[in-house]
């Protein structure tokens, strides 16, 4: 006898899921409460760090996130050591968003780990399609970048401001544009 999965289990396993599931809506509510507390907190790095450790799935050492920051769940975001994220970033974390060590993210950057079906009927049913986003070590993401579902960014890569990243890229490159493309190899 097959036991049916919860919508959260489907989401976590990368399967299509109902975005309006009551438990997932409660999870989103909790994440929004923590984000609000973080965004309205005083300039106290220890308090902000504690809130991030409560919100995120994993939080490395020596991290700095400038409010406001918004996410769907928080528990699907994993951040390495020595991480900096500037103002006004949005992470839609239905699938895991993994960010390596020594990364910097510019303001107004959006990372989306969820998509929706092309078929209107399925969209009306509130189906989400989770696809993880993975960002390697030593990555610098410029301001206003959008990273779409299912993308992997290699180590030491630089993403120019205002780029839209629609596919994966290797280590040691500079990418830019909409859609982003390799404009330079990084030597050394």
Active site residues: 116
- Would you tell me the crossing angle of helices 22-39 and 45-55 to the nearest 10 degrees? 170
Residues 6+ apart with CB under 8 A from 62: 81, 82, 83
- Whether the CB-CB separation of 155 and 186 falls below 8 Å is answered with no
Q: Cα 114 to chain center, whole Å?
A: 10
Q: Which residues are bridge partners to 152 per DSSP?
A: 134
DSSP 96: -
Residue 81 φ/ψ, nearest 5 degrees: -70, 155
């Amino acid at each position: 006898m097959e036991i049916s999965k919860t919508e959260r289990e489907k989401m976590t396993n990368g399967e299509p899921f109902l975005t309006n599931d009551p438990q997932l809506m409660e999870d989103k509510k909790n994440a929004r409460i923590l984000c609000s507390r973080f965004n309205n907190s005083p300039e106290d790095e220890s308090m902000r760090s504690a809130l991030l450790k409560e919100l995120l799935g994993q939080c490395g050492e020596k991290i700095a996130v400038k409010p406001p920051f918004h996410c769907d769940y928080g528990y699907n975001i994993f951040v390495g050591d020595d991480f900096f994220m500037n103002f006004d970033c949005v992470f839609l974390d239905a699938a895991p968003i993994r960010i390596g060590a020594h990364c910097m993210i510019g303001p107004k950057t959006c990372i989306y780990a969820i998509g929706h079906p092309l078929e209107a009927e399925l969209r009306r049913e509130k189906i989400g399609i989770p696809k993880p986003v993975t960002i390697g070590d030593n990555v610098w993401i410029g301001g206003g970048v959008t990273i779409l579902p299912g993308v992997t960014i290699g180590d030491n890569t630089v993403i120019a401001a205002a780029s839209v990243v629609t596919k994966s890229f290797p280590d040691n490159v500079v990418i830019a544009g909409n859609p982003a493309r390799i404009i330079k190899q990084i030597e050394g």
